[in-house]
Chain A
Amino acid sequence: MQNKLPLYLILSLLLLALLAVVSLYMGVYIFEKHSFTEIFSGLINNDGSISDSDRFVLMDLRLPRIVMAILIGSALSVSGTCLQGMFRNPLATPDLLGITAGASLFAAVTIVLGVYIKPYIPEVFHFSLLSFMAFIGALLTMLLVYRMSTTNGKTNVVVMLLTGVAVTALGFAVMGLLIYISKEEQLRDLTFWNLGSVSGASWTKNGILAVVITVCYFVLLPKGKALNAMMLGEKDAEHLGIPVERIKKQIVILTALMIGTCVAFAGTISFVGLIVPYILRLIFRSNYHIILPLSAVFGSILLLTADTISRTMAPPSEIPIGILTAFMGAPIFIIILIRSRKTM
Chain B
Amino acid sequence: MLEAQNISYAHRKFSILENIDVTVNNGELLVIVGPNGAGKSTLLSMLANELTNKEDLIFFKKKTFHDWDCKELAHSKAKFSQNNSHDIPLTVNDVAMMGRYPYFNSVPQKQDEEAVIKALEETDMASMRQRDYNSLSGGEKQRVHLARVLAQLDNNVAQKLVFLDEPLNNLDVLHQHRILQTIKNFTQKGNTAVMVLHDLNLAAQFADRVMLLKKGKIVAHDVPGTVFTKEIISRVYNFPCTICTNPVNQNPLIIFGT
Contact = CB atoms under 8 A, between A and B. Distances in A.
A2 B108 contact: yes
A232 B74 contact: no
A241 B50 contact: no
A232 B107 contact: no
B169 to A, nearest CB: 16
A251 B29 CA distance: 40
Contacts of B152: 239-240
Given A2-B108, A240-B74, A287 B90 contact: yes
Given A3-B107, A232-B88, A225 B48 contact: no
A225 B89 contact: no
B90 A241 contact: no
Nearest to A288: B90
Interface in A191-227: 222, 225
A88 B106 CA distance: 21
Q: Taking each of B48, B88, B99, which has the highest tally of chain A beta carbons within 10 Å of its own beta carbon? A: B88
Interface size classification for chain B = 20 to 34
Interface string B95-126: 10011011000111000000000000000000
A312 interface: no
B70 A241 contact: yes
Given A228-B98, A233-B85, A285-B90, A239 B107 contact: no
A228 B74 contact: no
A287 B94 contact: yes
Contacts of B88: 231-232, 286
Given A225-B101, A232-B98, A238-B50, A286 B89 contact: yes
Given A2-B108, A225-B101, A232-B85, A239 B90 contact: no
A46 interface: no
A32 B89 CA distance: 52
A188 interface: no
Nearest to A2: B107
B81 interface: yes
Contacts of B185: none
Contacts of B89: 281, 285-286
Contacts of A242: 70, 101
B101 A239 contact: no
A165 B8 CA distance: 42
B94 A239 contact: no
Contact of A286 (B78, B81, B90): B90
Given A2-B108, A228-B90, A243 B70 contact: yes
B50 A228 contact: no
A24 B95 CA distance: 44
Interface string A3-45: 1000000000000000000000000000000000000000000
A60 interface: no
B102 A233 contact: no
B83 interface: yes
A229 interface: yes
Contacts of A235: 45, 50, 79, 81
Q: Which of A222, A225, A229, A241 has the most chain B CB atoms closer than 10 A to its own CB?
A: A241
B77 interface: yes
A232 B91 CA distance: 13
A229 B98 contact: yes
B79 A236 contact: yes
B24 interface: no
Contact of B102 (A232, A236, A241, A343): A241
Interface in A236-287: 236, 238-243, 281, 285-287
Nearest to B73: A241
B71 interface: yes
The 3 closest A-B pairs by CB, nearest first: A241-B74, A286-B89, A241-B102
Interface of B: 45, 48, 50, 70-75, 77-79, 81, 83-85, 87-91, 94-95, 98-99, 101-102, 106-108, 132, 145, 152
Given A238-B50, A239-B152, 13 more contacts: A231-B88, A232-B88, A233-B81, A233-B83, A235-B45, A235-B79, A239-B78, A239-B79, A240-B99, A240-B152, A241-B73, A241-B74, A242-B70
Interface of A: 2-3, 222, 225, 228-229, 231-233, 235-236, 238-243, 281, 285-287, 289, 343
19 contacts: A2-B107, A229-B101, A232-B98, A232-B145, A233-B84, A235-B45, A235-B81, A239-B74, A239-B77, A239-B152, A240-B99, A240-B102, A240-B152, A241-B71, A241-B73, A243-B70, A285-B132, A286-B90, A343-B87
